Structure formats: C-alpha cells, structure tokens
Structure 1
Amino acid sequence: MTTTYTPTQTVHDKKRAALSAAIVGAILLAVVPAYCITLAGGSEAYDRVHLSFPGNPVAGTTAVFWSVNVLSGVATLAIVAGAVLFLKAPKKSRFLPADLSLRPLRWVSGTWALTSAILVFAKGLDAVGLPWSELAEPGGFSFVFVGSYYPTAFSITAIFAFLCWMATYFVEKWTDLLILLWLTVFGNIIPVAVGQLLVGPNHDFGSDAGYLQVLASGLVASSIITVGFASMGPSEKAKFNLVRAANFGVIGAVGLLLIEIIMTPFQLAGTGLTASTTGWLILVRWLMELVLLVLTVVVRRRIHSGRGHARGLALLSGLVVAGWVGVLSAIAQIPPPHYFAGSGTMSEVFLGYELPEGPDLAGLFLEWRVNVLFAVLSIVAIFGYVVLVLKVRRKGQSWPGLRTLAWMLGWATVILSTSSGWGRFAGGDFGIHMVTHMSLNMLAPLLMVLGGPITLALNAWSGATGTAGWARRRLVELLNWRAARWLSNPLFVFVVYISSYYVLYLTPLFEFFMNYHWGHQLMNLHFVIIGYLYFSLIIGVDKGPVELPYIGKLGLAFAAMPFHAFFGVVLMMTATPIAQQYFLYLDYPWSDLVASQELGGGVAWAGGEIPTLIVIIALAAQWSHQDRRERTRVDRHMDLGYNKEFDDYNHMLIELAANDQRAAAERGK
C-alpha cells in the first residue's frame, strides 16, 4: 500500500524539516564554542584564578549545559514576550486563541528547568574546582552549595523555569502570560547577576549592561521566533502582528549594539581586542550583533512591504542569535581581563569604584557616576510620556503642562538620586543612603503619580486602531486584572510600604543586599515601585483598580506618619551601627558610622513627616477642587432641570406635605 502526499502536505513537511534542522543547528552553534574553549583551555583558566582543575567531565558538562541553559532561557523569554507583545487576541475576549499551541514553550521551558537543575551541581563543582566524586563525600554537597553563588542562583532559576513549564498546562488568559514574563525575565537575570559581571572595577556598569542585555536579546529573539513561527502556515500568520514584531526586532538589535558600548570596555578593562581570548570572542560578538541588525532591518522591510514572511531570513537570524549565545557562553568559561584589573580594594570589590574622599555639598551634586539601569529606565519613561503627550495634542486635545512637568521631575529625581554624587556615595555612607532611599520612596513617586501616565495613555490611544488600539485594550485588561486589584489593595500596599523599613533595616537583610550591586538595584527598584503604589492611592491622578474616598485617602496618609517617626527614632537610638561589618570592610577614613546613622535616623524621621504633610496639603486641594466641580455640576443640572435627585427630593417633600394635610383633615372630622 503506497502513501500519497498532497502538495500542501509536502510543503508542510519541508517547513518542518527546515525548522528541525534550524533547531539542531542552533543547539550546535550554542554548545560548540563554549565546549571547545573549555577543552582547549584545560587547567589554565582554573590556575589563573587559583582553583584546582575539576577535570574535563565537570568542565565539559558545565560548558555544554550552561550553553543549552542560556539558549533555552532566552527562547523561553522570547516565546513569552512574543505572546505578550505580538499576539492578536480577540478584541472582546481576554482569553488566548483556542488554537494557540503552547507546545514550543513547554519544550524550551522544560529544557531550561532541567539544565538549571543540573547546573546547580555542575557549576557548583566547577566554581570551586572539584570533581563529581566530591558529591559522594560526607558534607560534600553542602560545601559545594555554599562554595559559590551559582548553586543558589540556579536553584532559583530552576524553580522559576519549572513554574513556567507547569503554567503551560494551565495558562488561559493574556494576563496569565504577564506572570510568566516576570518569571522568565528574573530567571534569566539571576545567573547573570552573580556571574562574571559581579567582579572587577566598574562592575556596576557591567552588571547593569548585563541586565539590559538579557532584555534586548529576549526582544530580538521574540521577534525572530514570532516571524519564523508565523511562516509555518497561513493560520499561524493570523495569530500574530508581524509588523509590530519586526519593529521590535530592530529595536532590540540596536539595543544590543548600544549595550555593547558599555559591556566591551568593562570586560576588556583596558586591554586590546586581540590581547586575550575574551577580546577575540568579544570581536566575534560585535560582528554577530552587526549581522543581526542588518538581518532584522531586512526582515522589517520585507514584512512592511508585504513581500512574504521572510521565513529564510528569520531562520538565519535565529542561527545568528544561537551563535551569539554560544560566544556569550564561551566567554563565561574563561577568566576575563577585568578579573585581574583594578586595585583590589574593598571599595572596588563591593561598589566597583573608589571613594577616596568624603562627601561634601559640591561632590554630592557635581561628581556624577551614571547608574546605567535607572538612567535607561528614566529616559525611556520620559521619552514615552512625551510621545503620548504629542499624540494627544495631535488629536486636538489638551494635556495639563503641570502633569508633564511633575512626571519629568519625578524621573529627574530618580536620576539625581541614583547617578549624582548622592547615588555615588549611597553605598559608602548610611546617612546619604537614607537620603536617596527617601527620595526614591517618597519624593520621586509623589511627583510621578501627579503625572497621570495611565490616563494619558488611555487618552492618547482612545479610538485608535492597530498597535495603539491593541495597547489600549491590553491596558484596560491590565487595570481590570484581579492581580492588579490585589496589588492595589490599600491594606496590602500600606503594610508593605511601612514594613519595608523595618524588615529591611532592622534585620540582616540590608547588610546582605549592600554586599552586591544587584542588591543595591533591587532595593532602589523596590523603593520606587512601592512608593508609586502608595502615593497613587492617595493623590494619584489615575483612577486605579481600587479607588478610595477622600476621607480614606486622608486616613492612609496620616496613618504612615507615626511609623516613619518611630523608625527614625529607632535608628538614632540603636547602639550598634546597622550593617556595621559591611561598612567596616570598606574602612573609609572619613566615615563616622555613629554620626552617619544618626543622620539617617533624622532623615527617616523628617523625610517621612515633611513629604506626608505636602501630600496632605495636595490631597486637601484635590478634595476642595473635586467639591467645587461637583457643586458646579449639580448647579448646572439644576438650572437645566436635569437633576433627578433634586426633583425626587422635592417630590418627596410634596408627598409628605400632602400626607400631613390629609391627616389633619381626618383629625378635623
């Protein structure tokens, strides 16, 4: 019996064969560079960092699974980001298309989880220079687990990846994908945060560039995977917005090149491109990123012109990304030049830079050191806001200039707090740290919420089609999301906002975070987010998922004041300086821990009281303005005869008077 294939089946089989070949090629491109570099280097790489050689079984296994882990992690992030950004969900439904296949996500997230679990052991042994047999020794596993940061990092990543894999069996709504997006972003960033980028002079620059590199690579890969997947058949094309995917692909490719401008000088640490193996690999990485930019531009042109799906170009771009991952993984297997640069002082180890002199007023405002992560976030936030304002004005509508000014001042406060001398000295002086904390937690969010970004976006995208219409529907879904209501719950926000001070500073958590650049950035990010949620409930212009009456807003503002005051008093009265061991490690000659903590306590006290009073004044002004508007509206409706409540009240009085007259008449009889 012979099997007959239709032309459609034959074309489909060819596409599947091409896709399978591309996947195999991608895995080889990702694995081979790291594996070959590891075997060729032998024990030399370990000798340079004073570690014993664990043997090729450990070194080779680590190289292979590290490469597959990075590739599968980026692919997981790409698929989730593609579904969030480019999926064409039905206009009147929050549910995903019924025929959307989550099998690719299931495969890559499962691979990501499995390789992360293996790397807990493999990279743990590799990082301390021990063979596999060490795990069989008494206490061997516990020693390996605490011997470096990698086992903990990959344990967390494995949990996140496993949750992503499990979610593929239950995800139904677009909002469910947002949870997966957070898991995949942080799951990919965690190994980066504790890896090579955490070491050496200027590692604050390198670490921030690494975090942004994860986001940019995920954006490029999501564009490529979306275009490639959509080319598998007509039905797949209908599920995704390929024009938007192509645009974001170019943005991501440009982002990778811009990030490289920061990453390359950090990793080379003053050495030439051809002076080390790392330099040669960085040169190859540059070339791949340039090729990737050209390919994404060509793909964008083809899709915008309607000349097919660019399936071949998408597959080629995917192979370039896989090769780029391979180069990245190869660099991670050898000690880079920045490992051996710098003075090696404790200030450089913890902060990435020196603080030879104490802070003065001029230095706090004029001696800047850019915080790359928050500078980029601030620029993107301001640029996006301005674009939306221009869209509103092009529609013939007005937008209050004071709101625009408040938004810009809020993000300018973030930049000043993190990139000026205040941010530069925040890691070495507790008092200055508290100033930046209060600025990020109170002043910046207070200004941001007065900008009303959600209201602006809804106005700018109202009545729009295409990407703007899609964005507006997604924003409305996000505001109606049950999780958004839970996160905006006043009790939850208030408890987290207040307890953050006590849990962070009165436990060992603060000292732990201060030891790492990612800890500094995580604290800063937390301060901004929880501050924004808190002040949005009280004086925010936007109408959020949970809206409090004005008396409730006033109560929420007053309730925080005693907690700030008590926290400030606790800081000033604590005999042992907070994070004492950390500051003693830094051992700055100009540092006075007791005086610095007293300053920090005073800042926490005054910094909580003064902004709260400003908030109360602003809230009273909003309340009064709202009352005037309501009275004006009622008077206008009464004049026009449209006030049903007033008419009903008058009718009730007439009925009561008639009843009284009837009762009096009956008594007279």
Structure 2
Amino acid sequence: MAETQSVKAAWPLYLTAAVIAAVVAGAISSLFSGGSLAALGIPDPGPATTFGLPALRATAWILAALAVGSFLFTAFLLPPRQVGEDLNGARLTVDGVIAARTGGWALLSVALIALTMIPLVLSDVSGTPLPQVIFSPSAWSTALSQVADAKVWLGVAAIAAITGCAALAASAWWAQVALLIGAIATILPLGLTGHSAAGGAHDIGTNSYLWHLVSMLVWVGGLMALLAHGRRLGPHMGSAVRRYSAVALFSYLAMVVSGVINASIRVRPEDLFAYNYGLVLVVKTVGLIALGVIGYVYRRRIIDRLDDNPLAFRRLATAEIALMAVITGLAATLGRTPPPPPRVTDLTEMQLKMGYNLTAPLSATNWLTQWRPELLYSVIALLLAGYYLHLVRRVEGWSASRTAWWLAGCATVVVTLCSGIGMHMPASYSAHMVAHMSLSMVAPVFLVLGAPLTLIKAAYPAGEFNPRLWAESFERSRFLRVLTWPPISLAQFAFFFYVLYVSIPLYELMISEHAGHVIMNGVFLVSGYFYFWELIGPDHIASRATAKVRLAWLWVSMPIHLFMGVYLMQLGVVMGEEFYSSLKLPWQPDLLADQKAGGGIAWASGSFPLVIVFGQLFYLWWREDREETRALDQRADDTDDEEWRRYNEMLEQYSGHGGGRA
C-alpha cells in the first residue's frame, strides 16, 4: 500500500502529453502535406518543416495549457499558506510554489518554441528547406517583415518570456492571478490569426475561436495541474478537484458550442467527409464526445470518493490527459490544413475586411432592426447577468434597484455590440464614437451601481477560500488603492481616450483589424468601470475619498470629452480615411462630415451618464453630511454638551478680559 501511495514526479506526465500531441499533429500534417502544398501552390519544404511546424505548434499549446492550468491551480484551486480575512501578502504553500515554477518553465519553453517558429513559418510559406532558412543571414528580417505569422510568434515569445520570468520570481498569492492573465494573453495572438480570422464572417469566426482556444487551455491545463498535485500527494485534493469540476464543465460546454459555431462557418455538412479538414474535425469531435463521457463518469462516480481513494483520480485523469493530447494534436493540424471552399466565393471588400455587408447608413430607425451576434463581450455580459441573478437567489433581501442597474449595464453592452451600432462601428467614425461612449461611459455607470462585489460577499460564507475571500482581498489590495486614487483614476481614463484619437496612425491600425476592435472594446469597458467605480460605486474601496472630494474631481474631469470633441470637430484630416474608403460602402459617405459628427457625439455624450453620476454623488454627499451631523449630535448627548459649555466659557473669559482692558 505504501508503494502505491508514494510520491511520483510530474515531468513524465508533461513530457508524454507533449510527445503525443506533437506526434499526432506532425504525422497527420505530413500525411496531408501533399494536398495542402498543391492547393497553396508551394514547393515541398521538406519533412523538417512539414512535420516540425505542426508538431512544435501542438507542443506549444500543451505547454501553454500547462502554464494556464498551473496558475489557475495556485490562484483559485489551492489555498495559500495562510487564509484569514485577507489574502493580500499571503504566500504560496510548497505545492503552490512548485506549481508556479512549473508554469514559469512551461512559458519559457513556449517562448523558445515561438522563436523557433519564426524561421519555420518562413520555410513553410516559401517552400524553402528549413536548413537554408536557418543559416540565411537575412531569414529573420525577411520573416518578420513579410510573414504575418512570424510577427505573431514573436509577440507570443515576448509575452511568454516576460510572464515566465515573473513566475519564477513570484511566490505571493496575488501574483498568481496576474500570471494567469499573462499566461492566457500569451496564446491569444494565435487565436486572432489563422483560418478563423480570414474571409467572410471572420468576426464571428475569430471570437468563437478565442472561446474555443482559451477553454481548451483551461480544461487541459487545469487537469494536468491537478494530476501533478495528486502525484505529489498534495493536500486539499478533494476541494481542488471539486472547484476544477465546475470550471471543466463550463470549459467543455464552451469548447463544444464555440467549435460548432466555428466549424459551421468554414465547412458545409456535405464537406465533412470530402476534405481532409472536415475529416480532422470529425475525429476531433468524436474525441471531445469521448472526453465528455469520461468527465461525466468521473463527476458521478469518483469525485465523492477522492479522499478515500485518490488513486482512482490518478488513473482516470492520466487516460483523460492522453486523450486530450491527441485532440490537441488534431486541433494543431487544422491551422495548416486548407479548409473546404468557402460558402460564398464572391466576397465584397466589406466582407473581407469586416466579415459582413452593410446596405444602408446607420440611422435612428434602423439601429434596432439590424442585428448580428457579437460572440465575445456580449456573451460575457450575458454570462455575468446570469451569474448575478444566480447570486441574487442566494441572498435574501438583495436590493432590486442594484439588480436593475446591473442588468441594464449588461444589456447596454449587448445592444451596443450586437445591434446596428456594433455592426456599423468598424465602418463609420460616428458609429465608432457612439459605441465607444456607450462602452466607456454608459455601461460602466450601470454596472458599478449593481455592486457586484458586495453581492458576492453576501452570497458566500466567510472564513473560507472562496469568491467572498477573493472579493474582499481585491477590495483591500494595494493595486486597487493605487488604481482608484483620484488622480490616477482620472489619468488612466483620459489616457486611453486621448492616445487613441490624437495618434492617427494608432487609430488607423486599430480599426483595420478585428483584433484592434477586440482590444479597444475591452479597454473601453475596463477603464470606464474602474473610473466610475471610484466615483460612485457602492462596492468598498479602502481609503476612498469623501463624496465632496470625488465631486470636485468629477468637475475637473468634465472638460476631457469637451476638449476632445471640439478637437475632433475642428480636425481637417480624416482619421482612418484609407481604411474607410477601402470598404466601398454603397452610400458613399462624407468621411469628414461623419468624423465631425463623431466629435459632436464625444462632446455631448457625457451628459446622460453625468446626470446619474452627479445625482449619485450629491446623494452620497448629503448622506455623509447627515451621518456626520448625527454623530455630532450623539456625541453631544453622550457628553451632555460638554464641548458647547467649554466653548461658551471661553467666550465669557475672552469677553471679561476685553472689558478689563477697555
């Protein structure tokens, strides 16, 4: 019995998963390479490229998943060394440090692979044998200047190297949350390129692929981290697996739904067995179904017996990870396998650049009649609305007004991005400005008034390693105190606004790619949320300024949009003119007039949310003044007006001395 319960090293598990994924990806890609190269009209670069490129890509995905899973484990599955009322300053346990170092080394390995991929992609697209590319002095500069995928891999290498080095030095709990975000960001550039980012409907294809890729990283990596912890016979295994089980279920469903959406854009049902791309999709789907069955069995039969029989989890999880590695290898081949012919071959410039066609300019009547699903932030908003309502059911007497505010904020995000406003956002400066103002000044105001962290604290028990403790620790964190300090809060809100519209080349770069719109929308929402949270949010912020001071800062910040609006209305140069003209919109808009209209929107759009903000601040000021008066009255009652009597005695003494001098 002692032998079966002995501690086992985890590195053979990682190595096995990487080798399985690499062999599957390399072998299948080599098998299909002849047809793929012929379809693309590229000479055969040799087995080092045809096998090595997909094999290294699959290995990078496995390592990235290991990093994501390791930081997910240290941040949210395994409690740190001391768990009290606050996690700020909490240090990782020995098992947590091991997992964090594993994530760091995994990311540094991803960085090395990413650098190796730069000459590999040049060899692949040019048909030049890899040795000639590697030993060519100009290969790297040629790849980075002419091959888009090479630039993407360079970005992956940079993010992975920075995050990996930080992980090797960090041992605090809060650092693991940041490292988890960094590990996910490492692989996101790959999600914004490839087949999903090209052709018609690429906006839906890219967003669904992002869901698919991130869900895969969390699902595969989380299980690898848990199995490694089990091989070390680490503590808290039962609670960690139960938390992961909920995350895994969501990740699995997200993978299936996003995969179906993405495949439906690329492949007709009749093409599934007619092309190699479709065959790989079918095999991958069968593997996902098998994994779903395994997960169900694991959930129903093993999770409740983990504390008594941890070896059962080891055996099942090992088999599951092996199958996950096979599916990862299959997924890696799709990026290099040509898909079937597109559903629509005669694509317009709008479809190539935006993913869809527009037939009429945005108006007051058609913005609610034109709808197109936005599968990233609008889906997140719907999920947050559902989670909020789930928590409301657990909290007795929760404010209906706060619920209404939160749902209004989520609805604002959905309507802004899915209605005619979101559809016209890439094609029109004025529509872009409407969306910007809605995402940065309307939705955040509604969301912060929903007090989500207060709801989380009320919905979960105290004294446990759970979302309540995470929320309380975040509210007390130094990061939040710095970010919500009024000068910095105002500076970050103004910075993102001005840097985008003052720098014309930056604006043109951001609007010309779908990735730019993804980044901009995220920045608008997050920046606006923190700014208005500091001003009017009911959620607690340590050492927050009084309502009177916050009202003064609001007066200081008011001219920001006024100045920018006036600047845009007077600007004689059309921002993004080349891109907007290339869309060839059928109504041939006056770009300069549209830009001036956008400036007017920026100038006037702050009025509506500022009415709510001013009203809330005046109410908070009145309430603080009333509480201060009540406290003074109570003190006077408790001391029998002692301060008032001393004040009167002082006046009498002063009057007596004055009379004597006279």
- Tell me the residue number matched to 1:367: 370
- Specify whether residues 621 and 168 from structure 1 end up closer, same or farther in structure 2 by C-alpha distance, changes over 3 A only: closer
Q: Does 1:404 align with 2:396?
A: no
Counterpart position of 2:618: 620
Q: Distance in 2 between matches of 1:401 and 1:73?
A: 42
8 Å CA contact 2:449, 2:538 repeated in 1: yes
**Letter of the structure 2 residue corresponding to residue 227 of structure 1:** L
Q: Deviations over 1:364-403 (max 9, x none)?
A: 112100101112111111112112222211xxxx222111
Asked if structure 1 preserves the Cα contact closer than 8 Å seen for 2:463 and 2:469, the reply is no
The equivalences for 1:28-177 within 5 A come to 28-89=19-80, 90-92=82-84, 94-100=90-96, 101-102=98-99, 103-132=101-130, 133-134=132-133, 136-137=135-136, 139-177=138-176
Deviation for aligned residue 1:663 = 7.6
1:509 aligned to 2:506? yes
1:36 partner letter: A
**Aligned partners of 1:293 and 1:162: how far apart in 2?**
34
How many pairs are equivalent?
647
2:274 aligns with: 275
RMSD between aligned residues: 2.7
Q: Which residue of 1 aligns with 2:309?
A: 308
Say whether 1:221 aligns with 2:220: yes
Task: Flag structure 1 segments of 5+ consecutive residues without an equivalent.
Answer: 1-6
Q: 1:664 to 1:633 in 2, by over 3 A?
A: closer
Residue 583 (structure 1) shift: 0.5
Corresponding letter in the other structure for 2:2: T
Query: Is 2:356 the counterpart of 1:353?
Result: yes
Which deviations, in whole Å up to 9, do the C-alpha atoms of 1:210-239 show, x marking residues without a partner? 111233223322442243134325444459
Question: 2:411 matched to 1:446?
Answer: no
Q: Contact between 1:565 and 1:609, CA under 8 Å: does it hold in 2?
A: no
In 2, Cα distance between equivalents of 1:99 and 1:386? 36
The answer to whether the Cα contact below 8 Å between 1:145 and 1:152 also exists between their aligned partners in 2 is yes
Question: Paired residue for 1:653?
Answer: 647
What SS class does the counterpart of residue 282 from structure 1 fall into?
Answer: helix
How is 1:221-370 mapped onto 2 (pairs within 5 angstroms)? 221-237=220-236, 241-268=240-267, 272-301=271-300, 302-306=302-306, 308-309=309-310, 310-337=313-340, 341-370=344-373
String of CA shifts for 1:525-572, please: whole Å, max 9, x gaps.
Answer: 111111111111212112224512223212222222222122112212
Aligned equivalents of 2:617 and 2:277: distance in 1? 57
Identity of aligned residues (%): 23
1:361 & 1:475 partners in 2: Cα distance? 41
Distance 1:357 1:49, change over 3 A: farther
Question: Which string of whole-angstrom CA distances, capped at 9 and with x for unpartnered residues, describes residues 316-340 of structure 1?
Answer: 1111211111011011121223668
Q: 2:2 aligns with which of 3, 8, 12?
A: 8
CA gap 1:338/1:631 in 2 versus in 1, 3 angstroms: farther
Match of 1:572 in 2: 569
Pick closer, same or farther for the CA change 1:499–1:247 going to 2, 3 Å.
Answer: closer
CA distance in 1 between counterparts of 2:479 and 2:235 reads 30
Q: Give the direction of change, closer, same or farther, for the CA distance of 1:251–1:346 in structure 2 (3 Å limit).
A: same
Alignment partners' CA distance in 1, 2:347 and 2:373? 22
- Say which SS state the counterpart of residue 42 (structure 1) adopts: helix
Q: Label 1:505 to 1:313 Cα distance change in 2 as closer, same or farther (>3 A).
A: same
Task: Say whether the 8 Å CA contact 1:269–1:338 is kept in structure 2.
Answer: no
CA contact (8 A) 1:193 1:207 kept: yes
In 2, the alpha carbon distance for the partners of 1:580 and 1:208 equals 26
**Alignment pair present for 1:557 and 2:551:** no
1:378 aligns with 2:372: no
Contact map agreement 1:116 1:154 (CA 8 A) in 2: yes
1:270 Cα deviation from its structure 2 partner? 6.3
More off after superposition, 335-344 vs 471-480: 335-344
Q: Secondary structure at the match of 2:487?
A: helix
Alpha-carbon contact 2:118-2:140 (below 8 Å) kept: no
Distance (whole Å) between structure 1 residues aligned to residue 625 and residue 348 of structure 2 = 61
Task: Give the drift of 1:638.
Answer: 5.1
- Residue 168 of structure 1: SS of its match in structure 2? helix
Give me the whole-angstrom Cα distance separating, in 2, the residues matched to 1:612 and 1:373. Answer: 28
Amino acid aligned to 1:408: L
Distance 2:649 2:245 in 1: 69
Choose from 603, 608, 611 the match for 2:609. 611
- Residue 191 (str. 1) matches residue 182 (str. 2): no
Q: What's 1:424 paired with?
A: 423
Deviation at 1:511, TM superposition (A): 1.2
Cα separation, 1, equivalents of 2:347 and 2:270? 17
Q: TM-score normalised to the size of structure 2?
A: 0.91
CA–CA distance in structure 2, aligned partners of residues 550 and 528 of structure 1: 23
Aligned pair in 2 of structure 1 residues 245, 602: CA closer, same or farther (>3 Å)?
A: same
Q: 1:662 to 1:422 in 2, by over 3 A?
A: closer
Read off the aligned partner of 1:377 and give its amino acid letter. Answer: I
Following superposition, the deviation at residue 178 of structure 1 comes to: 1.3
Deviates more, 1:405-414 or 1:383-392: 383-392
**Residue 77 of structure 1 contacts residue 185 of structure 1 at CA under 8 Å; is this kept in 2?**
yes
